[in-house]
Amino acid sequence: MAAYLVVDTALTHPDVYEQYKLKAKPLVEQYGGEYLARGGPISLKESALWSPTRMVLIRFPSTQAAENFYHSAEYQEVVKISHQSAKRTVFILEGM
């Protein structure tokens, strides 16, 4: 069953965040991930629980693949750049 890494990002230093994007993409692909959406326009319909900022949606072949990506030593080094340049909410959602 596929799994989706869902990320909402509020950029604090967009120029630094560009470095994160360049380094994260090959790792996503290495772990079988595919970007489905990356910071495109949002047409918000309801926001009682949450108002998204900049959404990224990545499909992985399984929850385990998504977890392996997120917890990999390589990604944990790269995600430090993101933490320096953005505030984020990140979760993995099982899907179809």
Select 1-40+66-96's CATH number: 3.40.47.10, 1.10.10.10, 3.20.20.70, 3.30.70.100: 3.30.70.100
Domain ranges (residues) in the chain: 1-40+66-96
* pLDDT digit string, tens, across residues 53-84: 999 999 999 999 999 999 999 999 999 999 99
Question: Is the torsion defined by CA of 68, 72, 74, 75 positive or negative?
Answer: positive
Three-state secondary structure along the chain?
Answer: CCEEEEEEEEECCHHHHHHHHHHHHHHHHHCCCEEEEECCCCCCCCCCCCCCCCEEEEEECCHHHHHHHHHCHHHHHHHHHHHHHEEEEEEEEECC
pLDDT number for residue 19 = 97
Q: How far apart are CA 52 and CA 2, in angstroms?
A: 23
Q: What's the whole-model pTM score?
A: 0.94
pLDDT at 96 over 90: no
